[in-house]
Structure 1
Amino acid sequence: MSTEKLSAGTNVFESKIGGISVTGKAHSLSAWFVLALRLMIGYAFLYSGFTKLTAAEPFDAGGYLTHVAAANGNPLAGVFAWMGSSPWFVEFANVAVPWGEVLIGLGLIVGAMVRLAAFFGALMMLMFYFGNWDMAHGFINGDFAYMLVFLAVAAFGAGRILGLDALIEQYEIDGTPLVEKYPRLEYVLG
């Protein structure tokens, strides 16, 4: 399990995973770059979902799920074929993909429930990574890079940088900040 410590005012962060510790010191401009990543990926997802919802033809994931993975040597071809041949899953994907993109995008743009939005964004990008499987240039492609952007946005608590999460966390219930009263919200906010 990872632990992140941030010393106030020093921009120092430390993490320990599996007995290995890393420590770094961020430049004061890092906050602006983290904010830029959050806004960029938020806009990309909001725009992508909005265009799917407002397109002349309704969004249909069935063809993609059925055919794309089988055509590219995907190790999860059977899973994608099952998803594409299951009517209930195709109907779920037809709603979840465009609305998920819109909600993830909105959450990131306004900085509300950023870690939750980033988790689902990374999950979507992981599925797109396998769906668009292409090893022509190695394991790293745009879908993988976007997944890492989502994970970085979550790890750096980008919702606290000019975002609503900073306000939500400090909202008081009986004189106690919300995130102190319910510490598990740190996994959703930030």
Structure 2
Amino acid sequence: MSDAREHRNVFRSTIAGTTVEGRAHSLSAWFVLALRLVIGFAFLYSGVEKVLGDFAAEGYLVGVAGVNGNPLEGLFLWMGQTPWFVEFVNIAVPWGEVAIGLGIIVGFLTRLAAFFGALMMLMFYFGNWDLAHGPINSDFMYMLVFLSVAAFGAGRILGLDAYVEQYEVGGQPLLERHPWLEYVLR
């Protein structure tokens, strides 16, 4: 019994021949849940503010293009000067934040939501480019929180992902019938 307990909270990963291993504290699940709820609420709140406000991406995209040596200056300028893309961003950012926030909070398709949240934060990181205080800013930290939520499969902790995994289709568990969903759910 003690041997089973000893290995229960072990996590291990090998990339390019290097293995890292750690042991999670028994309270770790609560902290992962807290990360999920906090980042979900932050994104939901930000999205609702944009949906209810006068969100307009064009000024931001054009304005950040040439600021502080932004390495993606050309991309942001193109995005801000391309009408169809500006219209897409005017819808995708606020409603994307709402959808990502809700998905993360209720733990539904959490890894997929966290992936898109991390991608959005990566774009904000470059959009808000400023190395005055070093390369790590709040956008970068939010991106890491999203990636942590995804890596820990946080949607299975008091979330709907745990139920979705158990759902049966034609008498067969969903993940057995569609193994590719493991990348989204587990």
Pairwise TM-score range, normalised by the shorter structure = over 0.9
The letter of the residue matching 2:30 is: W
Aligned to 1:128: 124
CA distance in 1, matches of 2:78, 2:165: 41
Q: Return the TM-score normalized by structure 1.
A: 0.92
CA distance in 2, matches of 1:74, 1:108: 30
Equivalences, count: 182
The C-alpha deviation readout for 1:53-84, integer Å capped at 9, x for no partner, is 112xx310000000112122101011000000
Q: Return the TM-score normalized by structure 2.
A: 0.94
- Equivalent of residue 105 in structure 1, options 92, 101, 105: 101
Q: Could you tell me whether the CA contact under 8 Å between 2:40 and 2:101 is conserved in 1? A: yes
What SS is found at the alignment partner of 2:69? coil
Equivalent residues in 2 for 1:144-159 (5 A)? 144-159=140-155
- Cα RMSD of the aligned pairs, angstroms, is 1.4
Q: How far apart are residue 8 of structure 1 and its match? A: 9.7
Give 1 or 2: higher helix fraction.
2
Pair 1:175 & 2:174 matched: no
Counting aligned pairs with the same residue, the percent is 71
CA distance in 2, matches of 1:186, 1:64: 37
Q: Could you tell me whether the CA contact under 8 Å between 2:57 and 2:90 is conserved in 1? A: yes
Structure 1 unpaired stretches of 5+? 1-6
Pair 1:89 & 2:85 matched: yes
Q: Could you tell me whether the CA contact under 8 Å between 2:67 and 2:129 is conserved in 1? A: no
Deviates more, 1:70-79 or 1:8-17: 8-17
What SS is found at the alignment partner of 1:45? helix
CA distance in 1, matches of 2:6, 2:174: 20
Pair 1:72 & 2:95 matched: no
Q: How far apart are residue 9 of structure 1 and its match? A: 6.6
Distance 1:117 1:8, change over 3 A: farther
CA distance in 1, matches of 2:100, 2:6: 29
What SS is found at the alignment partner of 2:11? strand
What SS is found at the alignment partner of 2:13? strand
Q: Could you tell me whether the CA contact under 8 Å between 1:12 and 1:25 is conserved in 2? A: yes
Aligned to 2:37: 39
Q: Could you tell me whether the CA contact under 8 Å between 2:165 and 2:185 is conserved in 1? A: yes
Q: How far apart are residue 174 of structure 1 and its match? A: 2.8
Aligned to 1:161: 157
What SS is found at the alignment partner of 1:16? strand
Structure 2 unpaired stretches of 5+? none
Q: How far apart are residue 139 of structure 1 and its match? A: 0.8
